[in-house]
Structure 1
Amino acid sequence: MRVPIVHRAALTPPTYERLPRYPGPVPRLDAAGDERLLACLRAQPDATLAEIGQALVAAGGPSLQRTAVWQAVERLGWGRKKKRPRR
């Protein structure tokens, strides 16, 4: 008759500790980048997202995709220009 081997891990109760969270990617815009973006927005408040991105690169900021520009603009509290309703 064969006796099964019991591993030490089977004898200890399971632990339900929270796993450390992955912090995610580092933001491309820091505090100085936010200030550059705000300066670009104040200079041209009616610019499109592409124009804001180009102005940010010209001001010495990083090159961002349109979605990242929109997320940064929204995070800074600038909304979008509303369009008139079509009839």
Structure 2
Amino acid sequence: MSIKILDSAHKHNLSDDSSRACLAKEHAEQMLDYPPEKRLYAGFDHNGSPLEIIAFIEDNTVKVIHAMKLRNSSREHLPEPARRSYKRGML
């Protein structure tokens, strides 16, 4: 599946490479209730920085509409055991 980074994903100055790395690595995924069906991805970029990404899938393409450093309110969505490390302040 291809990945397209939309202009709105650049609001928080996260690079396209960071967003792509987060989606390519192990990450947690949660469906959101907003139409069209959006997904929250929580994971890490190539430097190990925790990120949150919101995207939707259309025409076999993941379209990223939001990307930023992980907020505390989203940390529960990190994959285990990274969540435990993040809570202890190790990330």
In which range does the TM-score fall when normalised by the shorter chain?
under 0.3
Q: Which one has a larger percent helix, Structure 1 or Structure 2?
A: 1
Q: TM-score, normalised by structure 1?
A: 0.28
Q: TM-score, normalised by structure 2?
A: 0.27
Q: Which one has a larger percent strand, Structure 1 or Structure 2?
A: 2
Whose RCO is larger (CA < 8 A, sep 6+)?
2
